């Protein structure tokens, strides 16, 4: 396995690796304790707000259900895959979506993360489930994975594109996808029409996570430059807002909830699914 020092090639990348090597946020770890799946992303769908009257365990399970529903929705957009196909989870965290994809289609899945701890934790869960011959998380840089060209039927980023330069990322993905392969991302994107600058709420999200949220137009420009053809754009903002309203009232608040709610509600920020294909 590649070492973090090799995978994280810049001070900024090393800071990301260091953060996730020591992260112990309850909103991630308590939710993952429900069934062993770490998501490290947000939720979609209609919550059952009655869980707020039934205690912390019920709230935790409901938030995890909504985050699992987000991963399920993403997988639904990947199309049919066979056990012979190979998929890449770029910025995989502890591999929740990688595990779910394999369990649905039986395909081979590689995940890449800068964090040694994330890869180790995820691979332990993969082995516990008996999937270690088909699913593996690597400590690699998603901008330069070292995988062979044309290797993958599907590549996705789930809330991880804000940590990298999009032109470099999509150039790498275009090289790794086979002809006819599909790229997908679910991401938060700044609204270009909001005064041609980021709102205070979006800037606060950047500060909170040490990232650089991209503008919506940046995605389409970088995809086109890489030779990837966008085929679907879906605004998931209405479907994620209820998740944030539940989380704001939960025992698992982190302080970032009001920034997301404010940014979504004033339309300076959108939660998007973008799908593209390699000709």
- Locate the domains of the chain by residue range: 4-277
Place 46 in a pLDDT band, splitting at 50, 70 and 90: very high
Place 148 in a pLDDT band, splitting at 50, 70 and 90: very high
Which residues sit opposite 169 in a β-bridge?
Answer: none
Q: Decide: 139 and 1 in contact? Cβ < 8 Å.
A: yes
Question: Nearest CA to 232 among 269, 191, 273?
Answer: 273
List the CATH code of the domain at 4-277: 3.40.50.150
Could you report the per-residue pLDDT of 49-106, keeping only the tens digit for each? Answer: 999 999 999 999 999 999 999 999 999 999 999 999 999 999 999 999 999 999 999 9
| Predicted structure pTM score | 0.95
Torsion of the alpha carbons at 204, 210, 211 and 213, rounded to the nearest 10: 0
What mean pLDDT value characterizes the chain? 95
Could you report the per-residue pLDDT of 109-139, keeping only the tens digit for each? Answer: 999 999 999 999 999 999 999 999 999 999 9
Q: How remote is the C-alpha of 227 from its chain's centroid?
A: 22
Give the gyration radius of the chain's Cα atoms.
18
* Distance from C-alpha of 259 to C-alpha of 254, rounded to nearest angstrom: 11
Question: Nearest CA to 202 among 135, 271, 137, 147?
Answer: 271
Place 3 in a pLDDT band, splitting at 50, 70 and 90: very low
First to last CA, the chain: 32
Q: What is the arrangement of strands in the sheet containing 269-277, beginning at the earlier edge strand?
A: 135-139, 108-113, 86-90, 152-158, 177-190, 269-277, 229-235
pLDDT for 196 equals 76
pLDDT for 6 equals 64
Which residues sit opposite 141 in a β-bridge?
Answer: 144
| Positions of E strands within the chain | 86-90, 108-113, 135-139, 152-158, 177-190, 229-235, 269-277
Could you report the per-residue pLDDT of 219-264, keeping only the tens digit for each? Answer: 999 999 999 999 999 999 999 999 999 999 999 999 999 999 999 9
* Distance from C-alpha of 156 to C-alpha of 172, rounded to nearest angstrom: 12
Degrees (nearest 5) of the Cα angle 98, 42, 203?
120
Could you report the per-residue pLDDT of 150-200, keeping only the tens digit for each? Answer: 999 999 999 999 999 999 999 999 999 999 999 999 999 999 988 779 999
Is 50 exceeded by the pLDDT of residue 2?
no
């Amino acid at each position: 396995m590649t070492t973090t020092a090799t995978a994280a090639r810049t001070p900024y990348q090393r800071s990301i690796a260091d953060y996730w090597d020591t992260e112990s946020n309850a909103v991630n770890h308590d939710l993952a304790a429900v069934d062993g799946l770490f998501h490290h992303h947000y939720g979609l769908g209609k919550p059952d707000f009655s869980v707020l009257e039934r205690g912390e365990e019920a709230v935790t399970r409901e938030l995890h259900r909504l985050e699992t529903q987000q991963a399920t929705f993403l997988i639904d957009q990947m199309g049919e895959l066979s056990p012979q196909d190979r998929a890449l989870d770029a910025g995989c965290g502890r591999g929740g979506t990688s595990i779910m994809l394999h369990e649905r289609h039986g395909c081979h899945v590689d995940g890449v993360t800068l964090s040694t701890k994330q890869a180790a934790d995820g691979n332990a869960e993969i082995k516990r489930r008996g999937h270690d011959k088909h699913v593996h998380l690597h400590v690699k840089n998603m901008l330069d994975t070292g995988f062979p060209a044309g290797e993958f039927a599907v590549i996705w980023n789930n809330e991880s594109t804000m940590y990298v330069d999009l032109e470099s990322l999509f150039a790498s993905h275009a090289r790794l996808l086979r002809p006819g392969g599909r790229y997908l991302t679910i991401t938060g994107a700044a609204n270009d029409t909001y005064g041609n600058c980021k709102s205070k709420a979006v800037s606060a999200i950047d500060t909170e996570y040490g990232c650089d949220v991209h503008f919506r137009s940046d995605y389409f420009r970088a995809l086109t430059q890489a030779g990837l053809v966008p085929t679907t754009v879906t605004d998931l903002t209405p479907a994620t807002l209820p998740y944030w309203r539940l989380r704001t009232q939960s025992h698992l608040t982190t302080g970032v909830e009001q920034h997301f709610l404010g940014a979504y509600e004033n339309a300076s920020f959108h939660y998007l699914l973008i799908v593209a294909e390699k000709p």
